[in-house]
Amino acid sequence: MAKPIYMDRVIAPHRSSSPQAGAVLMAVVLAFNVLVAIFLIVIRAPPVLPFLGLDVLALWLALRASARAARRVERIQVTAEAVTVSREDEKGARTVWTSPTAFTRVGVEQPGEHEVRVRLMIHRKRLTLARALGPDQRLEFGAALQDAIRSARNERWS
């Protein structure tokens, strides 16, 4: 008999541009730098040329870091027995956190005006969740997680 799952949510960061858009941006910046390099060679200012490569390198590193960060995934599952959080980073490594549903609490904190933290707590252990979401989405997620844990506890003790 399959046990009911009260929440099964996957949270992944949203990126506003695709890898193709990053390639187009790199091509435009590279083309502009080639034109500037030609101009600098014509006016006999070659000592400036290495610095043109530095901005291309910095942009490439930033786009690469953004693409790697987009592969981070967080999965939250709530059953009557346990709350399980598994995180997968950009390299594929997994971290799993499990706690009994009966003793797990959800804390939603607002330390600042535009800052919201959703935490799972058991005894003295804490785990911050949903960092990839915006503040309003974190509030909604925190409420949904509290409802899921409450429903799971009710099923277990009824």
The CATH number for 124's domain is 2.30.29
pLDDT higher than threshold 60 for residue 1: no
Instruction: Name the β-bridge partners of 106.
Output: 120
pLDDT at 25: 92
pLDDT at 13: 84
The answer to whether residues 54 and 88 belong to one domain is no
pLDDT at 32: 93
Give just the sign of the alpha carbon dihedral 53, 56, 57, 58. Answer: positive
Phi, psi (deg, nearest 5) at residue 149: -65, -40
Q: How confident is the model at residue 78 (pLDDT cuts 50, 70, 90)?
A: very high
The answer to whether residues 49 and 124 belong to one domain is no
pLDDT tens-digit readout, 17-43: 788 888 999 999 999 999 998 998 899
The answer to whether residues 137 and 81 belong to one domain is yes
Range of the domain at 141: 5-13+73-157
Q: How confident is the model at residue 59 (pLDDT cuts 50, 70, 90)?
A: very high
pLDDT at 157: 62
- Percentage of the chain lying above the pLDDT 90 cut: 32
Q: Stretch 67-90: mean pLDDT, rounded?
A: 87
Q: Print burial letters for 68-83: b (CB count within 10 Å at least 16), e (below 16).
A: eebebbbbbbbbbeeb
pLDDT at 2: 64
Structurally, the chain folds into a number of domains equal to 2
pLDDT at 17: 79
